[in-house]
C-alpha cells in the first residue's frame, strides 16, 4: 500500500524493504523511517498504511520515547556536521539535553532498555574477542553518556572516557559516579596529546570516528597516529563505524593506509558483528 505522505516516503520504503529482508533490525528500520518522515504521528500512520504490524507495535509501545527522537530530528540535531569540531560539540551538547539515550545512539529510539541491550552486545563482542580483561586499561573515544564505561567497568582495571561535548561528559560523570575505576574528561577533539605518556591495552571508538572524519580526514589520521603511541605492545584499537560515507570499500581503503602507516595488523576489516546495530567493525592490533 502506498505511503500516506510523499516526502521521505522513498527512503522509508527502502528501510522497510531492508527490514523485511532481515538486513537490518527493527530498531534501525524505525530509526531510518522516522528520519525520513520526521514525525511520530507520520511514522505510525505510514506503518499502518504499509501494513507493517510488528514495527507499528514497537513504535506504539515506544511512542513517548520516540517523541524525544522526533524532537532531535525537527531541531536538526541528527544532521551531519561537516568541517567543524565546534559544530559537532554544539550539536551533541544540545542533543543530550533533549534526549540522552537517543543523542548517543539514535537507533535506541530514546529507550534506556534498547540502549542497554545494544551496549551489552558491543561489550560481549569485546569479551569474545579477548580485547578486555581485569588487567586492561581502556580508553573510550567519544564516550557520550558513559554507557560503555558502565558495561565494561567490571571487566577492566580502568577505563577513561573522553568526549568533545561538555554536556555528554556531565551526563557520563553523573551516571558513572559510583564506578571507582572510571574517569571521564572533556577534550578538544583535535588530537590525543593530553594523554601522552599513558598506555592502554584497548582503545575503543564506538561511532566516534565518523565525526572525526567529518571534521577532517587529517583529524581522523592524527587520532590513529596518537593511538599508535598510546597502545601498549599487543594492544588493540577497536573502531565501530569508521565513517558515514556509505562506502565500506572506501573505509577499508582508509583503514588499510592508516594501518600500514603505523604498523598495525588488521584483525577485523569492516565486519558486521552486531544484530541490533548495523555498525561495521575494524580491529587493529599493535604487534
Threshold 0.85, pTM exceeds = yes
* Arithmetic mean of pLDDT over the chain: 94
Given a cut of 50, is residue 3 above it in pLDDT? Answer: no
Question: Which domains are present in the chain?
Answer: 9-79 (no CATH), 114-285 (3.40.50.150)
Residue 6: predicted pLDDT: 54
Q: Which pLDDT belongs to residue 83?
A: 65
Mean per-residue pLDDT, 16-22: 96
Residue 76 pLDDT level (bands cut at 50, 70, 90): confident
Residue 257's pLDDT band (boundaries 50, 70, 90)?
very high
pLDDT 10s digits, 179-192: 999 999 999 999 99
Give mean pLDDT, residues 16-23. 96
pLDDT at position 81? 59
Interval 139-158 mean pLDDT: 98
pLDDT tens string 220-256: 999 999 999 999 999 999 999 999 999 999 999 999 9
Contacts by 166-172, CB closer than 8 A, 24 or more apart: 166/89, 166/93, 167/92, 167/93, 167/94, 167/96, 167/97, 168/92, 168/93, 168/96, 168/103, 168/104, 168/143, 168/144, 169/143, 171/96, 171/100, 171/144, 171/145, 171/146, 172/143, 172/144, 172/145, 172/146
Give the mean pLDDT of 120-133.
Answer: 97
Angstrom distance (rounded) from CA 53 to CA 146: 34
Q: Assess whether pLDDT exceeds 90 at residue 4.
A: no
Question: What pLDDT, in 10s, does the model give residues 36-53?
Answer: 998 899 999 999 999 999
pLDDT value, residue 2: 37
Q: Are 164 and 92 in contact (CB under 8 A)?
A: yes
Amino acid at each position: 500500500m502506498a505511503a500516506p505522505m510523499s516526502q521521505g516516503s522513498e527512503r522509508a520504503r527502502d528501510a522497510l524493504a531492508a527490514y523485511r529482508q532481515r538486513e537490518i533490525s527493527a530498531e534501525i528500520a524505525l530509526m531510518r523511517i522516522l528520519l525520513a518522515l520526521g514525525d511520530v504521528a507520520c511514522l505510525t500512520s505510514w506503518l499502518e498504511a504499509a501494513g507493517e504490524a510488528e514495527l507499528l507495535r514497537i513504535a506504539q509501545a515506544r511512542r513517548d520515547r520516540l517523541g524525544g527522537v522526533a524532537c532531535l530530528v525537527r531541531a536538526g540535531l541528527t544532521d551531519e556536521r561537516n568541517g567543524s569540531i565546534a559544530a559537532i560539540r554544539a550539536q551533541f551538547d544540545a542533543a543530550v539535553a533533549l534526549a540522552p539515550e537517543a543523542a548517543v545512539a539514535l537507533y535506541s529510539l530514546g529507550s534506556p532498555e534498547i540502549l542497554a541491550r545494544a551496549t551489552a552486545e558491543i561489550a560481549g563482542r569485546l569479551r569474545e574477542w579477548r580485547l578486555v580483561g581485569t588487567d586492561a586499561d581502556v580508553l573510550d573515544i567519544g564516550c557520550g553518556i558513559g554507557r560503555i564505561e558502565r558495561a565494561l567497568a567490571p571487566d577492566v582495571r580502568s577505563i577513561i572516557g573522553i568526549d568533545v561535548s561538555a554536556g555528554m561528559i556531565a551526563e557520563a560523570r553523573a551516571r558513572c559516579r559510583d564506578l571507582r575505576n572510571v574517569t571521564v574528561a572533556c577534550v578538544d577533539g583535535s588530537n590525543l596529546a593530553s594523554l601522552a605518556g599513558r598506555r592502554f591495552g584497548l582503545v575503543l571508538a564506538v561511532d566516534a570516528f565518523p565525526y572525526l572524519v567529518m571534521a577532517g580526514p587529517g583529524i581522523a589520521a592524527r587520532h590513529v597516529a596518537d593511538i599508535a603511541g598510546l597502545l601498549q605492545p599487543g594492544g588493540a584499537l577497536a573502531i565501530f563505524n569508521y565513517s558515514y560515507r556509505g562506502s565500506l570499500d572506501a573505509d577499508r581503503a582508509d583503514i588499510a593506509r592508516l594501518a600500514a602507516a603505523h604498523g598495525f595488523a588488521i584483525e577485523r576489516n569492516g565486519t558486521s558483528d552486531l544484530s541490533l546495530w548495523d555498525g561495521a567493525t575494524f580491529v587493529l592490533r599493535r604487534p
